[in-house]
Structure 1
């Protein structure tokens, strides 16, 4: 990570920072269409929020692509170029984008950085704030304010989009609550690849038994003793499954599940912990990914 940032700092002096913008997460940085607000968004979740609130009036360059681990991301010269040409940079915050500050400095960015986490009640050192829809409402409100400040002439449109989307977030929260109400408390036991679902667990009153990666960060690894402890805890608590995540390999989860005698939920049913699905799929949006997560969890734990 540090080496990559040093490279960017050196490359920044040589790059010609052209205008950029993209309306789809797979596009490379390019010229923003005339009349559109050029915005860089760091994560898939934040980019989806910006597209939804900004609508057709924004051109979004999404830095981290689907199923790329944000905890260990290394910025590229294209990221540097996109940031340098943007008017607004929107981040998740809470330390998720450790690389961003130095990249912004190297890019010579002169616009505004919107920290979408402002006002969210945080769990200690946990950046996965979007897994509680109530937090997502705070995030999109922060984004709407940032867009309105950057483009006052369209503030009314951004506010209208925010109102409509906030209602959808309320409905998501209500649907999740109703789904979990059907599952006995004793069956709401969760084991995942890494500790990404703390806000979801708190919101819907699940019991977090443990994770294959013993950390909020994906770079940590289980020791032999921790692995044995997790297997024992899974057996003792009657946990029914281990849930893999779309942006992380399933091999370790499968090995632990075999020792514990439980099933692995993965493949097309893998949870979206740090990422969203591919563009154009239902899980390619925040709402679709969160609906998928709840449906998958409830089906596996309630059966």
Structure 2
């Protein structure tokens, strides 16, 4: 009995400590910002830094196209100050969520002012588009949290310089006129920026596998054009790419869509990695 009595104060202390931590988090004064998936999360983290309380909705390693928010996700999002998403059909679930959000939640579609290319939502794979998306994020953070606006602007300016450097590296890589074979048709904006053409085994959402006849046709084209590799998005896996590579006797190389990243890398790092893979494969 004595042991139980001694434990009660300790349990009370723990409860009070947890309650205190919870209240401190709630009263931090930082804007509560939610992002739809990894690219939007990374852009927002880069600009927001420690001045925001940031949460990403789609778990790392999950395809944003396939994701379905839970009731818990929707409840948390209703308490946000800002919700940031890509649009252009990237998050098929976003429209449902937005309709249910309270009016005080600021909703920003980062692709709103960007010309789109057909049905491809992967607009951030163009460095110029990524800059526009980051500017939109900076604008909303500065509007909602004006006291830290200069911090957001400074971080944006610093990062835009890095993106411009990456853009220059791509332009100097002699990619113009090259054709890339990919499993996932997600690279139209990247190709448009640097004069490349993509041939894809499957559509932009990757929700259907190509038929045997489609696979055979691509393999024949690869052989006839002397293509040395096929690119795949590591988030989807390399099974399809390896099947084509084995049949055509070429290599399979990763080309990241930045929908998610297992190493939690930033945009500039991944775009540089993509350039190195492109140089190997074309």
The TM-score with structure 1 as length reference comes to 0.80
Q: Deviations over 1:93-120 (max 9, x none)?
A: 1111110121233454631111111221
The 5 A counterparts of 1:8-47 are 31=25, 34-47=28-41
Correspondence for 2:232 among 244, 250, 257 = 244
Structure 1 match to 2:200: 211
Q: Distance in 1 between matches of 2:120 and 2:104?
A: 29
Q: 3-state DSSP class of the match of 1:74?
A: coil
Residue 57 of structure 2 is aligned to residue 63 of structure 1: yes
1:152 paired with 2:142, answer no
Residue 217 of structure 2, aligned match among 226, 229, 242:
229
Match of 1:287 in 2: 268
Kept in 1, the 8 Å contact 2:37–2:260? The answer is no
Write out per-residue CA displacement over residues 48-105 of structure 1, whole angstroms, 9 at most, x where no aligned residue.
1111111211111011233321111111233213211110000011111110121233
Q: Give 1:161's match in structure 2, choosing from 134, 155, 159.
A: 155
Q: After the TM superposition, which segments of 4 or more aligned residues of structure 1 sit over 6 Å from their partners? A: none
Conserved 8 A contact 1:194-1:211: yes
Higher Rg of the two aligned structures: 2
Distance across 2 between alignment mates of 1:78 and 1:290: 33
The 3-state SS of whatever aligns with 2:65 is helix
RMSD (Å), alpha carbons = 2.0
Kept after mapping to 2: 8 A contact 1:32/1:59: no
- Give the number of aligned pairs: 259
CA contact (8 A) 2:98 2:107 kept: no
Shift in alpha-carbon separation, 1:295–1:32, aligned structure 2, 3 A? farther
Distance (Å, rounded) in 2 between the aligned partners of 1:193 and 1:78: 34
Match of 1:120, SS state, is: coil
Give the alignment's TM-score, normalised by structure 2: 0.85
Residue 220 and residue 274 in structure 1: after superposition, are their counterparts in 2 closer, same or farther (change >3 A)? farther
Instruction: Give the corresponding residue for 1:133.
Output: 127
